[in-house]
Amino acid sequence: MKFRSDPAKIRGSIAPVVSPFTAEGAPDLDGLRTLIRWQLGSGTHGISLGGSTGEPSAQTTAERATAIRAAALEINDQVPFVPGTGSAKLDDTLQLTEVARHAGADAVLIITPYYARPTQEGLFSWYSTVAREFPDLPVIAYNVPSRTAVDIAPETVARLRKAHDNIVGVKETTKDFEHFSRVLHVAGRDTLVWSGIELLCLPLLSLGGAGFVSATANLAPGAVARMYEHWEAGEFDKARDLHFGLHPVTDVIFTETNPAAAKWVLAQAGLLASGFVRPPLVPLTEPGQRRVLELLGQGAAVLDGPVARVADATARSD
């Protein structure tokens, strides 16, 4: 919770770590710790879990709570910890947010309640309730209309920011880049905005974005972090080189429904004991595996460590 009092320091590449499971589908906390240590050693600027990449809707509230506590202990204030604690149910959201607060999270990521398709007034009431319950905890709205069927309007973000000091920003997972700009314009340029769309991570920085929560960081944590660092250092060509170099790695992530491909690669790299994904997802298919290996070869220049070795082994076998 070292960063809780100054959420403006939660910047850069916040890696949305996958949720490891055993081959039988049970939570794999040792695997989670391994992934976090690899992320920290690779230079990641922060850790998140429980977002879309973390399969939260396929886990019980108790499983999610246990993962939050384990991650907080492993991170140990080395970088900001921003777990996803949102759910389609308000009581579960409040319960998980309390777990995160007590565990020492620096901020929480609250997804818009999915399936119900609330109005903007409903969203304002939802986020206001969370903010009032946890006045000492920074709250980040998580806007991902492709999964929730509801979009937080820029005006609603502005209204929430005005009403609650601890609603500090929003993770925008929409391909409508105009939306990013309107949020910053209407809600204020001090609003912390992170991109959840991989190919909009670098462009958002030109508007003053705080960083990104990119699933690609599961496979190329060092390159994603360096892209932010180059931009901040004014090394724009180097940042752009990484942006384009990461294209095929991003394509790996979305070869089939995320996070099936990422988990398969991490298992091949020896960072996970299993690439298991819970239903309704299925493991990466054989055609998907062939495509992933092809894409890893194309992105080899930006890969490091165990994942780079998977790409190298593929190249040698060819």
Residue pLDDT, tens place only, 19-65: 999 999 999 999 999 999 999 999 999 999 999 999 999 999 999 99
Q: List average pLDDT for each run of 10 residues in the chain, which is 318 residues long.
A: 94 98 98 98 97 95 98 98 97 98 98 95 98 98 94 98 98 94 97 97 97 98 98 98 98 97 98 97 97 96 94 68
pLDDT at res. 195: 97
Classified as helix, coil or strand, 268 is helix
**171 in active site:** yes
Compute the distance between CA of residue 284 and CA of residue 123 in angstroms, rounded to an integer: 35
The predicted-structure confidence for 136-178, as pLDDT tens digits, reads as follows 999 999 999 999 999 999 999 999 999 999 999 999 999 999 9
Question: How many residues in total does the chain contain?
Answer: 318
Output the average pLDDT for the chain: 96
Query: Is 2 designated active site?
Result: no
pLDDT score of 201: 97
**127, 171, 228, 263: which one is catalytic?**
171
Residue 171: the pLDDT is 97
Q: What integer pLDDT is reported at residue 312 of this predicted model?
A: 80
Task: Exactly one of 89, 114, 142, 228 is catalytic; name it.
Answer: 142
Helix axes 221-232, 236-245, angle to 10 degrees: 160
Residue 317: per-residue pLDDT: 59
Distance (Å, whole) CA 303 – CA 46: 19
Name the residue among 73, 25, 86, 8 with its Cα closest to residue 47. 73
Please give the pLDDT value at position 240. 98
